[in-house]
Amino acid sequence: MKRQTLHLRLHAIRILLYNTSYTISRFIFCWDSVLVRYLRQLQQQETLKEYVPKIKWRSNPRVLDIGCADGSVSSILSTYIPQNYEMFLGCDINSNSVKFANARYGTERIKFIVLDIEEPIPENLRESFDHVFSFFALHWLTNPEKGYMNIYNLLKPGGEIFLILSAESPYYDIYHSLFRTKKWAPHMQAYDTFVSPYHDCKDPDKVIYESFKKIGFRNIDVQCKQKVFVHESTNFLKNSVASINLFETPKHMQDEFLKDFIDVARDMRLVEDDNSVKFSYNIITVHCMK
């Protein structure tokens, strides 16, 4: 299955759960709460807080968020930028996400459009942004350099970018263990397209640095940082995995898949005595200018 197809599925499910959560959030697992936790975590980890002061904001900036999904993170990001911004544009390859984002977070100055960052960019967007952001999206690209080049072309001269990409993560290792079994391999053909190209990469920061340098970016700062996320229980982790059911697991085998997922996590000694599950993972931050 293609990476993009996977994303379309992932976000269709995400939006479905998001809508569902309005009505039954008190009774069952709710994706919204996971997302909020994830965002809080993101903020707790101070990634944004650390980088926002380093950004040389331009006056009345035009800001782009690539891979905006349902717009919830874009909406949070829009509170971090100077409030005299001219426009904030979120873009995503998934038209359903964009529709949802516009309906929920769109305003006169905040808009969302469908755009595949790996495809040729529309002429009217060329060199039109002062600041470009992208969080946890660009490691899905089949040809990342094409995406990075497009970002360069979207920026005005002197414009600035800040990106967060996923690198090493126990999620990938657990999925890989399951993928190697006779039982799950037939249902996980998409594994190869799902895993971040920077997961098994020895020096992902150096690889990314070289790509950006070759394109012509300057003042490049690429850092690989270790983060920790504690799932409060194995059930919480199960629910998170279920909500982003990326693979073609037959419905009647889904509980078994989740059980095996947790068993692998246990074998990897990720489950603590209090039944919480601690994931240490790496993210890559990229901050540079055109």
Q: Least distance (Å) from ligand SAM to the CB of residue 9?
A: 10
- Work out whether 137 is an interface residue with ligand SAM (CB under 6 A): yes
Interface residue with ligand SAM among 93, 132, 149, 246 (CB under 6 A) is 93
Give 194 or 261: the residue with its C-beta nearer to ligand SAM: 194
Sign of the alpha-carbon dihedral angle for 116, 120, 123, 125: positive
Token couple for 41: 């975590």
- Work out whether 195 is an interface residue with ligand SAM (CB under 6 A): no
- Work out whether 150 is an interface residue with ligand SAM (CB under 6 A): no
H, E, C per residue of 87-143: EEEEEECCHHHHHHHHHHHCCCCEEEEECCCCCCCCHHHCCCEEEEEEECCHHHCCC
Q: Least distance (Å) from ligand SAM to the CB of residue 15?
A: 10
Calpha distance 288→222 (Å, rounded): 8
Choose the stretch contacting ligand SAM; rule: CB under 6 A; options: 130-138, 151-159, 173-181, 267-275: 130-138
Choose the stretch contacting ligand SAM; rule: CB under 6 A; options: 24-32, 112-120, 123-131, 272-280: 112-120
Which residues lie across from 132 on neighbouring strands?
A: 64, 161
Choose the stretch contacting ligand SAM; rule: CB under 6 A; options: 86-94, 124-132, 177-185, 246-254: 86-94
Token couple for 168: 């090493």
Give 150 or 239: the residue with its C-beta nearer to ligand SAM: 150
Which residues lie across from 278 on neighbouring strands?
A: 230
- Work out whether 117 is an interface residue with ligand SAM (CB under 6 A): yes
Give 192 or 272: the residue with its C-beta nearer to ligand SAM: 192
Helix (H, G, I), strand (E, B) or coil at 184: coil
- Work out whether 121 is an interface residue with ligand SAM (CB under 6 A): no
CA torsion angle for 135, 279, 45, 168 (degrees, to 10)? -40
Calpha distance 226→202 (Å, rounded): 14
- Work out whether 270 is an interface residue with ligand SAM (CB under 6 A): no
Calpha distance 58→43 (Å, rounded): 23
Token couple for 209: 């640095």
Interface residue with ligand SAM among 55, 73, 284, 286 (CB under 6 A) is 73
Calpha distance 185→177 (Å, rounded): 10
Interface residue with ligand SAM among 67, 144, 159, 204 (CB under 6 A) is 67
Strand residues in the chain grouped as ranges (E): 62-66, 87-92, 110-114, 129-135, 155-166, 218-231, 277-289
Q: Least distance (Å) from ligand SAM to the CB of residue 153?
A: 14
- Work out whether 92 is an interface residue with ligand SAM (CB under 6 A): yes
Q: Least distance (Å) from ligand SAM to the CB of residue 41?
A: 11
- Work out whether 116 is an interface residue with ligand SAM (CB under 6 A): yes
Give 123 or 274: the residue with its C-beta nearer to ligand SAM: 123
Q: Site residues (CB under 6 A) for ligand SAM?
A: 4, 7, 11, 66-69, 73, 92-94, 97, 116-118, 135-137, 140-141
